[in-house]
Amino acid sequence: MSSLVVDNLAVRYGGVSAVRSVSFTVSPGESVGLIGANGAGKTSTLRAVMGLVPRSSGTVMFGGRDLGRVPTRGMVRLGIGYVPEGRHVFAGLPVEKNLLLGAYASRWDAACRSRLDSVYALFPVLGEMRGRLAGALSGGQQQMLAIGRALISRPALLLLDEPSMGLSPKLVEVICAALQRLRADGLSLLLVEQNAMLTFEITSSCLVLENGSVAMTGSSSALRDDPRVRKIYLGL
């Protein structure tokens, strides 16, 4: 089992410092949240972990391997799944084809078939709509599809960027329940969210990012009760 260890990560876009000295660990089976306001640096942190934006300093290790030397395709093989912000499903392809594309880094075999079945068990609506074009799905169904596609490669660690974005409260509940179930099955999660309450429900610990830096860390239950967090991030 592999831990994700992010040490002293920094990301710059030209003159803009988006992420500064961010360090955290996601241990096997653990579920960690990154919360913060718009522009706090959450997406940049996740994209830097995936090697989708260059790190200006710091290291990212997974299972003792330096991910700085691993191409994104190789990360899937190492057991990292990624659900990007905005879902990015292939609108012109059927639901099942979208899911199968998640298996591109592995050989198609009986294990892939059983993972497809387990995605349909997690999100029955995807099974019912397997022949429909992904572009015809609702936003919530597309989010399920994006999560399902990442699960097909059987990750040990799943990174999710704002899975609740733009969804109705009812669909947020469906996504929340699915993530809790995956967590109970032993999947490690790194969840980026603006929805702090949702994040506290799913994760065991969280980092609060402000202006690219870690402003607070702690157990999700302690942060949920913190007066500053309640005021700024929960609006209570």
The binding site for ligand ATP (CB under 6 A) comprises 13, 16, 18, 36, 38-44, 194
Q: 122 or 175, CB closer to ligand ATP? A: 175
Q: 72 or 114, CB closer to ligand ATP? A: 72
Question: For 96, which DSSP code?
Answer: H
**What is d(CA 192, CA 90) in angstroms, rounded to the nearest whole number?**
23
What are the phi and psi torsion angles at 230 (to 5°)? -60, -40
Tokens representing 65 are 């391997």
Closest approach, Cβ 106 to ligand ATP, in A, equals 30
Q: 51 or 127, CB closer to ligand ATP? A: 51
**What is d(CA 164, CA 85) in angstroms, rounded to the nearest whole number?**
10
Closest approach, Cβ 132 to ligand ATP, in A, equals 29
Closest CA to 168 of 141, 132, 199, 197: 141
Closest approach, Cβ 42 to ligand ATP, in A, equals 4
Q: 41 or 148, CB closer to ligand ATP? A: 41
**What is d(CA 175, CA 147) in angstroms, rounded to the nearest whole number?**
9
Closest approach, Cβ 23 to ligand ATP, in A, equals 17
